[in-house]
Amino acid sequence: MIPARSPAQLMPRLYEALWETGAVIDMKALADARLGDTPERIDAAFAREATRDPEAIRAFVGRWFTFPAPPDQLAPCDPMTLADRIEYLWDLLVRPPGFQDGVSQVALQHAYIVPGGAFRECYYWDSYFTLLGLGDERAALREECVAALAEQIDTFGFVPNGTRTYYLSRSQPPTFYASVGALLPDAPERAWARYLPQLIAEHGYWMRGSESLQPGEAADCVVRLPDGALLNRYWSHSATPRDEARAGRDVAIAKAAAPRAPEELYREIRAGCATGWDFSSRWFGDRATMATLRATSIVPIDLNALLFGLERAIAQGSAAAGDEARATDFVRRAEDRRQAIDRWLWNETLGLYDDYDYEAGELRGAVSAAALVPLFAGTATRDRAKATVETMKRGLLVKGGLLATDRHTGEQWDSPNGWAPSHWFAVAGLRRYGFTAEAKDLARRWLETVALVYAETGRLMEKYDVVRQAPGSGGGYPLEDGFGWTNGVTAALFRDYPVLMKFGETVPVPLPA
């Protein structure tokens, strides 16, 4: 059940004008703002003005909304090494239990870590990569971060994209099981047993509607393929422009996609955000432009590998809890998914795991870092893991790390960008399958990139250009720093590879203003 409404749902007349005119550029800040009255009264006041003049709309917003303060607190006063900077940032990025700022924020009973910059709330898959960097002295905070995710499952039946009411129509890559397992890395089944109700509930969210599906049909997040196998896709329960999209971007995309129905594009955009890869050529029909977005038609390899991991976690947690019947059931479910992945999501021509367009009936031909997630989750066969690694080395490995994809579209989850989540999935997956030299080499490339950018800017970034070893680009919003998952993955790799700690000694030159 989703009990809360977003600002656009509470103030529909105002938001319709904002979407039409693009009067306010930073719509996320508006959606995060504090209100001068109830949403209903503000919307009624706007209806009385009945204006479409951008200047008048901005003046109205200025009277009724107090925007969040700009995130300038992250600049250090003194030079710090990269490793020390990460430790310094944890206390700035943590939010206490009960924290709420703005009408759209969902208050939680547990502490959590925000990514930083404009991202002022708890994000689902960010949380996993972030908590990886918390040392033993912050074990209590690590527990709180996991409990915050579990609380969201208890409240909503799934983990939303983020803890804002405008994120409640969608989830993100299902890394909750991995977050739980990270609490007890030497005995993850004990942690999974402890959070078994939430793991089962999340699995139910992803599989809802599967029982009644016929071959070739889809419902919500689940797809039944022609041979009867069940795999998953991303979905959104809303088909309207996003509250947080910058300056009417969603409306412009929908217009460019005519004659497709605008509502179809709005759902595709939201589903594209649910992927965590927002946006990428992986989701475009023509592999190049947003107007051809078809995320709901695609069965992604990374999503299904993570759901395999979730099913294995439920099986092992159930066994640890003494529920052999459930353990047996989920062993079967995981094996069914593994076989379906092998049949439907392997691209023999490219030699790697791939996404599948179930409506078009074809593999996407996407050379992407997502192909390594089956190694992370343990669903890859040995031969296919080896082939995927070789393809990755030929097509995605560059001086500064791992490209998101081999395509250049200007979108942030395409070349030349690389991301902390992709590097963690890859390094952990490579180690799992015995590719220890490749894992260490990739960790070195990533840490060198992070260190070089830190030396030049004094900041840890959301994303990086791994070709030039520079700050990343794209995304339709200013490059953010902070940054939760970069900090977490970087700290975790320093821990796992002490010989690479030399990068952690990097100091900004010159000191940023």
Q: Has residue 414 got a pLDDT over 60?
A: yes
Q: pLDDT > 70: what percent of the chain?
A: 97
Tell me what pLDDT residue 74 has.
59
**pTM given for the model:** 0.97
Please, which pLDDT band fits residue 509 given cuts at 50, 70 and 90? confident
| 208-232 pLDDT per residue, tens | 999 999 999 999 999 999 999 999 9
Q: Could you give the 3-state DSSP secondary structure of residue 512?
A: coil
Tell me what pLDDT residue 510 has.
65
Contacts with 38 (C-beta within 8 Å, 6 or more apart), sequence order: none
| 294-308 pLDDT per residue, tens | 999 999 999 999 999
Long-range contacts of 191-197 (CB under 8 A, 24+ apart): 191/317, 192/313, 192/314, 192/316, 192/317, 192/320, 193/317, 193/318, 193/320, 193/321, 194/317, 195/146, 195/150, 195/317, 196/314, 196/317, 196/318, 196/321
Contacts with 458 (C-beta within 8 Å, 6 or more apart), sequence order: 75, 76, 85, 508, 511, 512
Q: Has residue 71 got a pLDDT over 90?
A: no
Catalytic residue check, 462:
yes
**Residue labelled with tokens 């995710």:** 149
For residue 248 the two structure tokens come to 């009417």
Active-site choice (151, 202, 250, 278): 278
Catalytic residue check, 335:
no
**Residue labelled with tokens 């405008």:** 166
CB count within 10 Å of CB 351 equals 20
| DSSP designation for 234 | -
Q: Has residue 1 got a pLDDT over 50?
A: no
Q: How far apart are CA 348 and CA 155, in angstroms?
A: 43
In 3D, which of 162, 160, 36 has the Cα closest to residue 102? 36
Q: How far apart are CA 446 and CA 230, in angstroms?
A: 36
Q: Has residue 356 got a pLDDT over 60?
A: yes
Please state, rounded to an integer, the average pLDDT across all residues of the chain.
Answer: 96
For residue 431 the two structure tokens come to 């180690």
Helices (runs of H) and strands (runs of E) counted in the chain? 20, 17
Q: Has residue 508 got a pLDDT over 50?
A: yes
**Residue labelled with tokens 């179930």:** 358
Cross-strand bridge partners of residue 452: none
| 390-401 pLDDT per residue, tens | 999 999 999 999
For residue 243 the two structure tokens come to 């509250």
Section 348-368 average pLDDT: 98
Active-site choice (462, 465, 480, 481): 462
Please, which pLDDT band fits residue 481 given cuts at 50, 70 and 90? confident
| 171-212 pLDDT per residue, tens | 999 999 999 999 999 999 999 999 999 999 999 999 999 999
- Cβ atoms of 456 and 471 within 8 Å: the answer is no
| 41-60 pLDDT per residue, tens | 999 999 999 899 999 999 99
Q: Has residue 428 got a pLDDT over 80?
A: yes
| 74-89 pLDDT per residue, tens | 555 578 999 999 999 9
- Convert 319-334 to b/e letters by CB count within 10 Å (16 or more is b): bbbebeebbeebbebb
Q: How far apart are CA 92 and CA 511, in angstroms?
A: 20
Tell me what pLDDT residue 76 has.
59
Annotate 288-320 with DSSP letters as a single string: S-GGGB-GGGEE-HHHHHHHHHHHHHHHHHHHH
Q: Has residue 3 got a pLDDT over 50?
A: no
Section 469-481 average pLDDT: 89
Contacts with 354 (C-beta within 8 Å, 6 or more apart), sequence order: 301, 345, 346, 347, 363, 364, 365, 366, 371
In 3D, which of 88, 136, 134 has the Cα closest to residue 111? 134
Tell me what pLDDT residue 142 has.
99
Please, which pLDDT band fits residue 2 given cuts at 50, 70 and 90? very low
Tell me what pLDDT residue 75 has.
58
